[in-house]
Structure formats: C-alpha cells, structure tokens
C-alpha cells in the first residue's frame, strides 16, 4: 500500500520531505512538490489507511503545508488520484483500475515529465500554453478521453501502432506500477565541529583538537563503508575570518591519524593568520576501496603511508615541487610538468598499465618490429654541458669538453641539423629558444646529442645516446 502526498505549488520540499519521513522510512521523490510513501507494515503502528491519511494531513497542516493525499495499492494509482482530486482519497487494494478509469487522459503526461502539473488548479492559475505529449495527441485523435478508454483497447493493437511506449502508457492507465519503488536516501553529512572555550594559537594545541574531531569522523566513515576523497578544514579565527583548506586525497582513506597528519602538514605550510576559536572538519565521501593483494608481486606502500610521505615532502620542498615528472606535447627542449605521484598498478609490470603508454606510442610510430626490438634512448643531462665544437662548412667535425667522463674527439658520423625555435610569444625571455641540434658519433665510440644556440653561437652537449 502506497500513499502519495501532493503539496501546493511554492511549498518547501524539505518540509514536505520531513513530514513524510515522520511516517515512513521508504520515500520516493516524484517531483519538486510530490512524494510517495511506502505504508507496508505501518497499519499496526498508526492504524488503518484512513487514520494514516488524517494524521499525515494534520501533521502537514501544522507545518504550514496544504496537501492532497491518495492511498492505493500501487504508486501509479495513488499519484493519478492525488493529481486529480483534492482532500483525501483511499482506494482498496485491487480496485486501482476501476478507481482511475474516469480520470483525464492528460494525467499520464506526469510520468513522461515530472515537472508537469496536471491538477485542475493548474489550468486556471497558469495561463501559459503547454505543448501536449505526442502520444496524447495520437490518443486524442483516436477519440479516447479517459484512462478507461485507453485501458480497454486490445494490448496487441496498441503495441502494433504505438510500440512499447503505447504498451507502457496502457499499463499506467490501468494503475499498474512500471517499476518498484526506489527509496530516496537522505543526504548524510560527514562533518565534525568543535567550539573552543579559549582561542588557541599554534599547531601543537590544534593537533589535539583535530585528533578529537578525526576519531568520530573516521568511525562514521567506517560504519558507512566510505572513504574520504577530499578533506576540508575550516578554522574560524578570532578576527571573524575563516581560514579554509581543502586536500585532494590520492585514494579513499579513513584512518584518523593519517587524516590528522595530512591536515597538520598542510596547515604548517599555510598557517592561519590569527588565533582559532572554532574548528570544523568535513570530508567528501566516496565508496571505500577494495584491496586485492597479489601473491606474485611485492606489496606496495598503502595510500595512507604514501599520502603522508608526499605531504611531508611538499611541506619541505614547496608546492609543485614534488610528484611525477612527465613530458608535455611541445617542441621546447626539456619541457615537462609535475603531476601527483601515484604507485604503479601490478598490471604495469607486465606492460598493460599507464606506464606502457610510451611503448604503445613507439609501436604506433615505428611499427611492430621497432617496438619489439632494441630502442635508442637519449640520457639527457639535467643541465646541458658547455662544449667546444669545431665547424667545417657548417658541419661539426670535432667536439671537446672539460667535463670529466666526456673525452670528446673527432666526429665520425653525424645527423642533422634539426632547427627548432619557439617561446618568442611569451614575455619571459627564459622560455625563448632557437637552436640547431645534431647527433654525432665521436672517435671515442660515444654518440651525443649536441646543439648550437643560434643567438649566442654557443655549443652544448644535451645528452648521450644509449
């Protein structure tokens, strides 16, 4: 048995939802001003259907709501009756088709568009015309006017002319439910707050406050099988300012000590400007992670340990200086960017994860043979090594350097030049480059990547080819 509660336009949905939750834990939201309650098993608690309806209407009136209530054996019949009739309507289980057969055909459009108001008051208070549903137009052309007219048609003929949409509308016209009730889950806040008797200043007393807040928050996440995806810290200062920090966590976690450590390390780098008199800790929840360890690979550090380590390194080195360096799609020499560090999945060891992306690109560019055979790689120097290069007819013939380990020698073979330039559109002059690159094999047997800066005519050794 289901009860449909339909409130007047402009009513607060939160108030309507609060009234409904006072009677049933299983509630489905149908539109901004309509909810359906599952009354199964509530007759022993509140009485028969008439008593429940009276209490529902009385509770809603006490909170300033004017509602219509319909109780029937199906949600579809209850919704249709509540939209058409004022007051309280009660239909015995099994009589739904007979109760709705006299209703207007246009009422079925509320199932196609939940925002449509097909109550009689909507036709008098809303002067704006509304485009009817195409199925309604077709049924009107057939001469149908009520739900009973549609329900009486042969189901096979309706399916032949209107398809599955027509079959679904005919079932609704008989008061049948298209699907089970889907209860609306109340929004749950994962937040803890503490008002301090005396303002505190410094991280040491703040750590005790955060520990007191993180413990119940972690327990709440544990009970709901959730993990924290984002950690929010709000510190209310004595100056009436609010110091807010948000930490994006690399993996869902709910360990209280880890969350407190991450918050303290972040606040160490971004301390508040005044004493604190209120602390609020909140998280954005996400489903807890499921860990399946492998018997063939070594166990990796947990996300909690990794997050703590990266937070300590970031506090020591500064923002943007810790992570994983990846190359960017640019012709700029040595261009790279830092991304958040994450552990490789076990699939990466066998070449099926993100780390094998470069192998895939090489395979696409060089073919299957080049991808499976030996490859050349340039071992770049962190800073290019100055070199002295003798040029004959624009071609380097000898390379020497003062760097230990690079003896230099006569150029045996060469390839190049490859001329590149860029960064001239950036105001920062350090981003500008204009260079000629060569790959040279010297008499000592080593192959180097050398380049000449055309604006200064200076030569450098960029790396060695392995």
In this prediction, residues 374-401 reach a mean pLDDT of 84
Does residue 417 have a cis peptide bond before it, meaning omega lies within 30 degrees of 0? yes
pLDDT tens digits, residue range 297-315?
676 666 767 777 777 777 7
Residue 293: its pLDDT value, please?
A: 64
274, part of any domain: yes
- pLDDT for the residue numbered 371: 46
Q: Is residue 365 part of a domain?
A: no
Predicted local confidence at residue 346, as pLDDT: 42
Residue 107 and residue 164 in one domain: yes
- Give me the pLDDT at residue 121, please: 44
Find the range with the poorest average confidence among 196-210, 334-348, 427-441. Answer: 334-348
* Alpha-carbon radius of gyration of the chain: 36
Mean predicted lDDT score pLDDT of the chain: 80
Residue 460 lies in a domain: yes
Segments forming the whole domain that contains residue 424: 378-465
Band the pLDDT of 35: cuts 50, 70, 90.
Answer: confident
**33-47, 250-264, 265-279, 346-360, range with the lowest pLDDT:** 346-360
Give the pLDDT mean for 394-407. Answer: 84
Residue where one domain finishes, among candidates 173, 205, 234: 173
In a domain, 181, yes or no: no
Confidence band of 8 (pLDDT split at 50, 70, 90): low
Q: What is the pLDDT of residue 352?
A: 41
Tens digits of per-residue pLDDT, 269-287?
888 989 999 999 999 888 8
Query: What is the domain-level CATH number for residue 100?
Result: 3.30.70.270
3-state secondary structure the chain: CEEEEEECCCCCHHHHHHHHHCCCCCEEEEECCEEEEECCCCHHHHCCHHHHHHHHHHHHHHCCCCEEEEEECCHHHHHHHHHHCCCEEECCCCCHHHHHCCCEHHHHHHHHCCCCCCCHHHHHHCCCCCCCCHHHHHHHHCCCCEHHHHHCCCHHHHHHHHHHHHHHHHHHHCCCCCCCCCCCCCCCCCEEEEEEEEEECCHHHHHHHHHHHHHHHHHHHHHCCEEEEEEEEEEEECCCCEEEEEEEEEEEECCHHHHHHHHHHHHHHCCCCCCEEEEEEEEEEEECCCCCCCCCCCCCCCHHHHHHHHHHHHHHHCCCCCCEEEECCCCCCCCEEEECCCCCCHHHHCCCCHHHHHHHHHHHHHHHHHHHCCCCCEEEEEEEEEEEEEEECCEEEEEECCCCCCCCEEEEEEEEEEEEEECCCCCCHHHCEEEEEEEEEECCCCEEEEEEECCCCEEEEEEEEC
pLDDT single digits (tens) 144-167: 899 888 889 998 988 998 889 888
Q: Which residues are paired to 279 by β-bridges?
A: 194, 235
83-108 pLDDT, tens per residue? Answer: 888 888 888 888 888 888 898 888 88
According to the model, what pLDDT value does residue 275 have?
A: 92
Are residues 169 and 21 part of one domain?
Answer: yes
CB 272, CB 222: distance < 8 Å:
no
Same domain, 106 and 211: no
Domains in the chain: how many in total? 3
pLDDT of 59 strictly over 50: yes
Residue 97 shares a structural domain with residue 237: no
Whether 385 maps to a domain, the answer reads yes
Same domain, 114 and 205: no
Mean pLDDT of the 377-405 span:
85
Q: What is the pTM of this model?
A: 0.48
Of 287, 319, 338, which one is at a domain's C-terminal end? 287
Whole-number pLDDT of residue 375: 67
Lowest mean pLDDT among 3-7, 20-24, 372-376, 444-448: 372-376
Same domain? For 166 and 55 the reply is yes
pLDDT score of 365: 40
Domain-located, residue 91 = yes
In percent, how much of the chain has pLDDT > 90? 9
In the prediction, which pLDDT does 299 show? 67
428-458 pLDDT, tens digit per residue, is 666 777 888 889 888 888 888 889 888 888 8
Regarding whether 96 and 130 lie in a shared domain, the answer is: yes
pLDDT higher at 283 or 344: 283
Rounded percentage of the chain residues whose pLDDT exceeds 70: 84
In a domain, 152, yes or no: yes
Q: What confidence tier does 122 reach under pLDDT thresholds 50, 70, 90?
A: very low
Same domain (yes/no): 169, 34: yes
229-249: average pLDDT: 90
Domain edge (last residue) among 237, 268, 287: 287
Higher pLDDT, 316 or 442: 442
**Do 151 and 85 fall within a single domain?**
yes
170's tokens: 């005919």
Same domain, 52 and 148: yes
Q: Is residue 366 part of a domain?
A: no
In the structure, what pLDDT confidence band is assigned to residue 252 with cuts at 50, 70 and 90?
Answer: confident
Q: Are residues 65 and 8 in the same domain?
A: yes
Per-residue pLDDT, 454 = 84
pLDDT at 344 over 70: no
Asked if residue 195 and residue 126 are part of one domain, the reply reads no
CATH number reported for the structural domain that contains residue 222 in this entry: 3.30.1490.100
Q: pLDDT value at position 242?
A: 92
Q: What is the pLDDT of residue 373?
A: 54
232 or 116, which is more confident: 232
Pull the structure tokens for residue 41: 């098993």
């Amino acid at each position: 048995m289901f009860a449909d509660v339909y409130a007047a336009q402009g009513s607060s949905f939160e108030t309507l939802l609060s009234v409904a939750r006072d009677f049933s834990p299983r509630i489905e939201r149908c539109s901004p001003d309509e909810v359906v309650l599952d009354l199964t098993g509530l007759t022993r608690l509140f009485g028969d259907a008439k008593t429940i309806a009276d209490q529902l209407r009385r509770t809603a009136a006490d909170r300033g709501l004017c509602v219509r209530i319909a109780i029937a054996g199906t949600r579809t019949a209850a919704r249709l009756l509540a939209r058409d009739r004022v007051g309280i309507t009660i239909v015995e289980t099994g009589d739904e088709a007979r109760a709705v057969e006299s209703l207007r055909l246009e009422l079925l459009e509320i199932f196609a568009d939940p925002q449509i108001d097909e109550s009689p008051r909507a036709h008098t208070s809303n002067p704006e015309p509304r485009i009817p549903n195409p199925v309604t137009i077709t049924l009107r052309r057939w001469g149908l006017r009520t739900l009973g007219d549609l329900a009486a048609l042969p189901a096979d003929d309706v399916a032949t002319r209107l398809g599955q949409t027509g079959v679904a509308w005919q079932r609704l016209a008989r008061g049948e439910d298209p699907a089970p009730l889907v209860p609306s889950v109340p929004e749950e806040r994962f937040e803890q707050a503490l008002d301090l008797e005396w303002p505190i200043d410094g991280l040491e007393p703040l750590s005790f406050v955060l520990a007191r807040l993180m413990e119940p928050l972690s327990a709440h996440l544990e009970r709901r099988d959730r993990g924290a995806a984002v950690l929010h810290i709000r510190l209310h200062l004595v100056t009436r300012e609010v110091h807010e920090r948000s930490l994006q966590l690399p993996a869902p976690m709910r360990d209280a000590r880890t969350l407190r450590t991450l918050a303290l390390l972040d606040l160490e780098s971004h301390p508040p400007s005044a004493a604190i008199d209120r602390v609020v800790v909140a998280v954005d929840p996400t489903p807890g992670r499921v860990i399946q360890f492998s018997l063939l690979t070594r166990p990796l550090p947990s996300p909690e340990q990794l997050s703590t380590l990266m937070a300590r390194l970031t506090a020591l080195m500064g923002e943007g200086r810790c992570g994983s360096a990846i190359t960017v799609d640019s012709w700029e020499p040595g261009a790279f960017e830092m991304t958040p560090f994450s552990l490789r999945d076990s699939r990466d060891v066998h070449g099926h994860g993100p780390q094998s992306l470069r192998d895939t690109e090489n395979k696409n560019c060089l073919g299957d043979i080049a991808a499976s055979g030996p490859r050349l790689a340039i071992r770049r120097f962190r800073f290019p090594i100055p070199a002295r290069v003798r040029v004959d007819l624009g071609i380097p013939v000898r390379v020497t350097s003062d760097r230990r380990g690079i003896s230099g020698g006569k150029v045996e073979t060469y390839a190049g030049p490859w001329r590149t330039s860029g960064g001239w559109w950036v105001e920062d002059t350090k981003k500008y480059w204009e260079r000629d690159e060569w790959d040279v094999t010297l008499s000592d047997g080593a192959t180097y990547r050398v380049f000449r800066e055309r604006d200064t005519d200076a030569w450098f050794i960029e790396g060695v080819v392995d």
